[in-house]
């Protein structure tokens, strides 16, 4: 990882120095070693402050909307999963391909500090990866944890090491977390619950929401010029509690709006301060789209028509979606 960080700094500086790009999007250190944040640099001298390690989960593609808007050619470091977002933004006409310089950046899974802390690590000084294990250096000595146990949730649904769009690749790909299970396992688990249990689950999840809009702000599919929730003259308005419809329906409407455009990057759930399992809403739509309309992965390319703006004459009937499902009063 340190090697890749050096390469990243070097390439960023080169691209800026030779004038290929006006700006570079990468990560820089946050207050703590584990909260690296997105960074934009526009001169080669600043590049040494860029970092890259197992604590750079942020998907940078959404910032390309701004840079594209400003007409500035921008290099962006993209982990394999982040590249899906770029394709989706291209499909949605939100960014201009000629203003994007995509650099594939190897990743072997990002770590979740909350999981590390929850595993009993106190007084953490630093964290490093050693093969399948994570070495936590604490004030009380070294602690080794299985890497699979402390990966970010989103990395448990890893889509692989391939870049779906890249003008260059920074280094040889790293082995990605081998996710062997069914990525829809959790969705299926909820589907299998009784209607009462499902309701109870979602009532408990959604009641946690404080409407901070972090999920929306981070989401690469939520790329509208103006979000309908911010449109004062529609009946769905306001960040603050303005109307009970949008207040209560916010997550359903949002999930619906990104259905077929959500790449499954899992950023929404990652940034949620309340820890709501938002990915389970999006994953449900992804699963339904696959099973009702045929396999589709948003962001796998920038051409295939999205499922909500295409159709087949023999699509299943709408009512069939709930036929045979347990009914309740």
Partner 1 sequence: MQKIGVFVCWCGSNIAGTVDVAQVVEAVRQIPDVAYAIDYKYMCSEQGQELIRKAVADYKLDRIVVCSCSPRMHEATFRKCAEGVGINPYMVEIANIREQCSWVLKDKAEATAKAIKLAKAAIAKVRFNGALKPGESQVVKRALVIGGGIAGIQTALDIAEAGYKVDIVEKEPTIGGRMAQLDKIFPTLDCSACILTPKMVDAANHENITLYTYSEVESVSGFVGNFDVTIRKKARSVKADMCSGCGICTEKCPSRKTPSEFDMGLKNRGAIYIPFAQAIPKVPVIDREACIKFKTGKCGICSKLCPAGAIDYTQTDELITEKYGAIVLATGFKTISLDKFGEYGYGASKDVITSLELERLTNAAGPTEGHLVCPSTGKEPKKVIIVSCVGSRDVSGRGKSYCSKICCMYNAKHAMYIREKYPDVDVTVFYIDVRTPGKGFDEFQRRAVEEYGVHYVRGQVGKVVVDGDGRLTVFVSDLNSGRKLMLNPDLVVLATAVQPSPDARKLATMLTASIDNDDFYVEAHPKLRPVESPTAGIFLSGMCQGPKDIPETVSQAGAAAVKVVGLLAKDKLLTNPCTAQCDTSICSGCLACTHVCPYGAITGESKPVITKLGVRETRTVAVVNNALCQGCGACTVACPCGAMDLQGFTNQQILAEVDALC
Partner 2 sequence: MLEKKNFEPKIVAFCCNWCSYAGADGAGTARKHYPANIKIIKVPCSCRVNPLFILRAFQRGADGVIMCGCHPGDCHYSTGNYYARRRMTLLLSMLDYLGVAGERFRVEWVSAAEGARFAQVMNDFAEHIAALGENVKLRDLRCKK
* Chain positions contacting partner 1, by CB under 8 A: 69, 91-94, 223-228, 231, 233-235, 257-258, 261, 305-306, 308-310
Using CB under 8 A as the binding rule, whether residue 296 contacts partner 2 is answered as no
Q: Note whether 160 and 166 are within 8 A (CB).
A: no
- Crossing angle of helices 279-288 and 185-192, in 10° steps, is 90
Q: Which is nearer to partner 2, 162 or 245 (CB)?
A: 245
Residue 315 binds partner 2, judged by CB under 8 A? yes
Query: How would you classify residue 41: left for phi > 0, otherwise alpha for psi between -120 and 50, otherwise beta?
Result: beta
Q: Return the structure tokens found at 170.
A: 């920074």
Contacts of 301 (CB under 8 A, 6+ apart): 87, 164
Binding mask 5-44 for partner 2 (x = CB under 8 A): ----------------------------------------
Look at residue 6 and give its three-state secondary structure.
Answer: helix
> Taking CB under 8 A as the rule, does residue 311 contact partner 2?
yes
C-alpha 255/C-alpha 4 separation (Å) is 35
What is the chain's percent helix, strand, coil content, to nearest 5? 40, 15, 45
Binding residues with partner 2: total (CB under 8 A): 54
Q: Which residues, 206 to 245, sit near partner 2 by CB under 8 A?
A: 206-207, 209, 235-236, 244-245
**Residues pairing with 126 in the sheet:** 137
Burial class (CB in 10 A: 0-12, 13-18, 19+), 57: buried
Min dist. Cβ of residue 92 to partner 1 (A): 4
- Both structure tokens of 124: 């953490």
Are 150 and 112 in contact, with CB atoms under 8 Å apart? yes
- Which one of 65-73, 134-142, 269-277, 289-297 is the stretch in contact with partner 2 (CB under 8 A)? 289-297
Q: Residue 298 binds which one of partner 1, partner 2, none, with CB within 5 to 8 A depending on kind? A: none
Q: Given the complex with partner 1, which of 89 and 136 has the nearer CB atom?
A: 89
Of 262, 234, 229, 283, residue with least CA distance to 92: 262
What, of partner 1, partner 2, none, does residue 198 touch, CB below 5 to 8 Å by kind? partner 2
- Least distance between partner 1 and beta carbon 200 (Å): 25
Distance CA 115, CA 47 (A): 31
| Burial of 147 per CB tally in 10 Å (0-12, 13-18, 19+) | buried
Binding segment for partner 2 among 135-143, 163-171, 186-194, 267-275 (CB under 8 A)? 186-194
Ranges within 164-183 binding partner 2 (CB under 8 A): none
19 binds, among partner 1, partner 2, none (CB under 5 to 8 A by kind): none
Q: Which among 240, 222, 109 is positioned nearest to 173, based on CA atoms?
A: 109
**Under a CB-based contact definition with an 8 Å cutoff, are residues 256 and 279 in contact?**
no
**Closer by beta carbon to partner 2, 92 or else 247:** 247
Nearer to partner 2, 162 or 195 (CB): 195
**268 contributes a contact to partner 2 by CB under 8 A:** no
Of residues 114 and 231, the one with the C-beta less far from partner 1: 231
Q: Which is nearer to partner 1, 136 or 259 (CB)?
A: 259
Q: Which residues bind partner 2 (CB under 8 A)?
A: 187, 190-191, 193, 195-204, 206-207, 209, 235-236, 244-245, 247-249, 252-253, 255-256, 259, 281, 284-285, 288-289, 292-293, 307-309, 311-313, 315-322, 325, 327-329
């Amino acid at each position: 990882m340190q090697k890749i960080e050096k390469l990243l700094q070097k390439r960023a500086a080169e691209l800026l120095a030779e004038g290929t790009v006006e700006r570079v999007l990468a990560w820089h250190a946050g207050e703590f070693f584990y909260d690296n944040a997105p960074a934009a640099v526009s001169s080669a001298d600043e590049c040494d402050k860029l970092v890259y390690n197992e604590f750079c989960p942020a998907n940078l593609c959404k910032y390309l909307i701004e840079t594209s808007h400003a007409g500035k050619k921008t290099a962006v470091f993209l982990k394999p999963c982040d590249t899906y977002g770029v394709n989706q933004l291209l499909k949605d006409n939100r960014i201009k391909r000629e203003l994007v310089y995509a650099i594939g950046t190897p990743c072997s899974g990002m770590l979740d500090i909350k999981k590390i802390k929850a595993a009993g690590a106190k007084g953490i000084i630093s964290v490093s990866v050693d093969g399948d294990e994570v070495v936590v250096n604490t004030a009380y000595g070294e602690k080794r944890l299985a890497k699979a146990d402390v990966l970010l949730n989103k990395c448990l649904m890893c889509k692989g090491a391939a870049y779906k769009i890249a003008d260059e690749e920074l280094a040889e790909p790293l082995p990605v977390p081998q996710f062997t299970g069914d990525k829809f396992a959790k969705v299926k688990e909820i589907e299998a619950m009784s209607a009462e249990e499902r309701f109870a689950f979602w009532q408990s999840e959604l009641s946690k929401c404080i409407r901070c809009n972090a999920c929306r702000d981070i989401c690469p599919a939520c790329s509208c010029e103006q979000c309908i929730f911010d449109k004062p003259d529609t009946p769905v308005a306001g960040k603050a509690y303005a109307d009970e419809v949008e207040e209560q329906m916010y997550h359903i409407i949002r999930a619906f709006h990104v259905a077929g455009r959500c790449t499954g990057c899992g950023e929404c759930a990652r940034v949620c301060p309340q820890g709501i399992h938002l990915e389970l809403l999006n994953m449900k739509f992804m699963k339904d789209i696959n099973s009702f309309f045929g396999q589709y992965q948003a962001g796998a390319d920038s051409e295939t028509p999205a499922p909500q703006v295409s159709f087949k004459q023999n699509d299943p009937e709408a009512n069939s979606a709930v036929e045979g499902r347990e009914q309740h009063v």
